[in-house]
Every structure is written in structure tokens, then in C-alpha cells.
Structure 1
């Protein structure tokens, strides 16, 4: 794993309980990676602030800005409770949440978000916003759902695509950092038509199909297993729909990792109903890997 000096773990905060859960997880990630922690709150104060400012004679943004700094200070203090030695800075950044966090992701090793929020980040994981963040961030995104379990494996979805390879690498790194094992999961379904006029074969050689899927799974993890010999690896080939398989596997995981896009059974993971199912129903924190710049590990 290469190491780009100075790239922080970034966590978005808004004063919610979910954001503080994310701060605790982000702190542990930063310590394990020997990275600084950057706490960010996006301040997009409402128009009503301007009206109040005009009536009171105070700067219209004064109240929201003071509150924003209180939110950041609380988050920084929470990080210090988890790891007193952590190198942490907090900042209030003007702008709407998605643009602010996307900009932050350009220079981050990891972006950590709570699954629910208030104020500035309230809409972050509702509807299309979560898909946009997962698909557009320039670093891996870790979505936290309450306090995660300390035991269990790192689970990664594998389909052989380029982004799946990135996700597998990230998952091995996480398993090594956490001192746990890795479960590489590849789901498969019977061949189906993929376009107008396509006709599926009338018969399948099931043994050959399974053997091919097993080979693809083994090849997807082989190089990383050699690079991380300290990480025990289990390979699971499961017949079923990608979202259902991933959600089921996440129930016993301390972290689930997927690529933002893929092919085959995992191809629709962040499109439409499948993405919403994973974001809303995964039982563990969910890491979404779009692409990684050199040294983001």
C-alpha cells in the first residue's frame, strides 16, 4: 500500500447523532492509517437569516455560523475522546453539502459520512444524493450506520470489473488494518437476455458455469491475497441477486465494500432500486469505491 503524505480522512458533520457515529469511525480509520482527521461542516445558511439580520442589525450569517462552529467543536472533542493523540482540524466551509464534500474528496484518503443527518447534511443520503456522492467522489466513501460492530469480517463484492478490483484492494487494506479476515463474495444468476431479440440458451452446463464463476472469483482475489498474506480469505460463490446477497452478507460484517459501478450481477449496484436497497438496508458500514488516486490507501 502506497502512502501519500498529508491526505486526511475527512468526515462530514451536522450536529446529528449519526454524524458523531461517523466521527468516531473516522477517527479510528485515521489512527489506523496514520492520517490526520479533517472535520467539515457545510454552511449554507437560509434566506431567513438575512431577514433576521436586517431586523436585529447583526450580520445575517452570525447565528448560523456560530452554531456551525459549535457543531465542529463538538465533533473535534468527540474525536479526541476516541484518540487523544489524533491530529485533527475542524473547519466550517461555505456552500451546500454535496459540492463541499465533493471538493473535499479531491484531497482526501477517505470520506466518512453518517447515514442520517440534520441541517446541512440532512439530504445527503436520501434519494439521488447518495448515488451522486458515491458515483462522483474522488476517494472511497464510507457510510456509517450507528456504532459498527468490532468483530466480523470485511465483506467485498466481486465481479471482475475494474472498479471491483479497486474495491478488492481497498477491502484487503481494511482487513489488514482491522486485523480481521476477508470474505470475497461473487453472485451469479443463470444467463438471461441482455438486449432486444436475444435468446438465452435452452440448456446450461451448470457444472461448467459454476466452475467458470469460481475461477473468476479466485483470479479476482489472488494477487491481493499474495500481497496481504496476513489476511485470511474466504471465497463465497452465491447464486442470487446482487443486492440481496450483499445485504445478507453484511449482517455479520464489520464492513462491507463495493465498487460504485460494475458489471454482471453487481452491475446495477448503484443504479435505481438496487443502490437504494444497499444504502438503506446494509447492516454494516458500507464503503463505496469509485476510483483511487495513487497513495489514497
Structure 2
């Protein structure tokens, strides 16, 4: 089946594992794909067959794994069709050692990768490991979807974006404005910083000057985007405190939190910023990890000034 509109983007790839969260993530991604005029690619990863060097142990047959995978994909597809009957969907059963081993190559030609997660807290379990690896290494935005299934469809609830003044957060601002504009949602742009001014002296000149300086970082980071998305209502938040705690407070009732990935480490490998990683574990809403785009324009990069790609 093919959508009547010509796709304007590369497909959105969704990892499907049979969970309620994966089904909801598929529905969410289908609506986003429809808004972008692109297609959806549902992928279930089959485990490789083990090589035995002694007497084989009883294991589920390859046919059983394939049947289960087909059932998962069919369930996700049925859920999508209840919301979006016309969107073009491709379903694939692919074999790999881990889900990330399969999804990462697909991400090279995808506009977004989406997976579902029901877990929050310390890194544990197969899906969290997949989410972290994708967030670290995908060249395109990654969405880890979580929340109640009733919120599987994007709506008019708030979109929150974390802004730290770095080039990485330019991508997050761009993605957040785009999403909010497509779904007629308000946008809350949050910038936080850790003050060296004692709490009882925050109203002194130093504290006021710091607040003004930090607000300028936020204003500069948002510069121009309001003109490109004039219908998006933006609330600007500047707070003194740890980035993770401030973002968690503001995204409590949000439909999406957007944060930047924070670039590359000493060996050229992708490195996920501590705040972004913290949000993947602790946020109650879906989290989008944005990547630097070619068309996000320029903004003064505070990474060199403050280290670690911006302020934390």
C-alpha cells in the first residue's frame, strides 16, 4: 500500500517487540510520518541461531521466533490502521545479535528512529541498552516513547525543549519548533544554570547579572525560530538549578521532551550528554534526542566557553 502523497523525507523506523509501549510508539510514529508526508518502517529483530559445540539444548524453533515476530508486527500494524488507514507501512523481520545492531544501519537512511520503553531508572534490561546505544550512535533523531497508551497520538499538550546555548541544542530547538508547529502545541523552552552565588545572596548584583546573562543565552538560541513558526506559542523559562531536575519538573505533563545529543568524544565516537542520558532514564514522557541538522542555521557555540558542549 502506498500513500497518495509522495514522501518528502526518508522513512521513520520503529523497533517493534510486542510490548504495549512498542505498539503505542508505532501509533505515535505513524501520525508523525503522516505529518511529514513520509513512510513508516516497522522492524522486529529476530535472534540469531546459536552455534553449539556440545549437545544442543532445546530452544524455540526458528519458525516459532518468526511467527512471534510476525504477530508483533501485525499487532502494531492493526493499531496503526485504526488511526491512520492510508499511510504506507513496510514491515520487516530482520536477524541480528541485538536490536541496535539491526536498527543502527537502518538509521543511516531514516529521518527518525522510534522505540518504546516502559522502564525508568538505572540502566537495566535489553530495551534500555538499545535506547542508549541508538541515542549515542544514530545519525538521525531518536525518540524513546513512554507513557500511557491513551497518549499515543500527538495532541495539543506542551512540548518542552532543553536549551543550553550549544550547537547541539540548536538541533533540539529546530525539532521542537517543527513538532509543536505541526501539532498546534505550545512550546516551553527551558534553560538552566548552576549559580556560584550563595542562595541568600541571589538578589544581589551578581545574581541578577547572572540571570540576565543566562536569559540572553536562551533568547539567542531561540532567535529566528519564532519568525519561521509564528503560530507556535513559546514560553521562555530560565531557572537556576541542575538541568536534569529543572527539565523533569517542566516536562511532568508534557507530550514530548526534546534535548540535544552533545556531539562527539575524544576518539570521534558519539557521546550522549549527561543531561540527555538522565532524561532518557527519568522522564515520564517521550524523549527525543536531536542531532545536528544541516539546515538549523548558526548560533554562537558556547561549548568552547563552558566545556562539554554547553551549560549543565
TM-score (norm. length: structure 2): 0.77
1:76–1:89 Cα contact (<8 Å) kept: no
**Matching of residues 45-64 of structure 1 within 5 Å:** 45=48, 47=50, 60-64=61-65
Q: Is 2:3 the partner of 1:26?
A: no
Matched residue count: 268
Residues 132-182 of structure 1: CA distance to partner in whole angstroms, max 9, x if unpaired? 211211111111113337342111000111110000000000000110111
Structure 1 residue 260: Cα displacement: 1.3
Q: List runs of 5+ in structure 1 lacking aligned partners.
A: 193-202, 263-268
Alpha-carbon shift at residue 116 of structure 1 (Å)? 3.7
- Displacement of 1:6 in angstroms is 4.7
* Partner SS for 2:136: helix
Equivalent in the alignment of 2:85: 84
Identify if the C-alpha distance between structure 1 residues 124 and 158 changes in structure 2 by more than 3 Å, giving closer, same or farther: same
The answer as to whether partners of 1:52 and 1:60 remain within 8 angstroms in 2 is no
Which of the numbers 146, 159, 163 marks the counterpart of 2:164? 159
The match for 1:234 is 235
Spell out, residue by residue over 1:263-297, the C-alpha distance to the aligned partner (whole angstroms, 9 max, x if none).
xxxxxx9456x5554223212111111233669xx
Relative distance call for 1:72 and 1:50 in structure 2 (3 A) is farther
CA gap of 1:42–1:187, structure 2 versus 1, over 3 A, is same
Residue 195 of structure 1 corresponds to: none
Q: How does 1:77-226 map to 2 (within 5 A)?
A: 77-95=78-96, 96-116=98-118, 123-126=126-129, 129-146=130-147, 147=149, 148=151, 150-191=155-196, 205-226=206-227
Looking at structure 2, the residues matched to 54 and 209 of structure 1 have their Cα atoms a distance apart, in angstroms, of 65
Q: Partners in 1 of 2:118 and 2:15 — Cα distance?
A: 11
Residue pair 2:135, 2:142 contacting (<8 A) in 1 also: yes
Q: Secondary structure at the match of 1:15?
A: coil
RMSD (Å) for aligned C-alpha atoms: 3.1
| Matched residue SS, 1:69 | helix
Q: Indicate if the aligned counterparts of 1:167 and 1:259 stay in contact, CA closer than 8 A.
A: yes
CA distance in 1, matches of 2:53, 2:76: 27
- Whether contact under 8 Å (2:44, 2:94) holds in the other structure is yes
2:14 is aligned with 1:11:
yes
Q: 2: distance between equivalents of 1:162 and 1:178?
A: 25
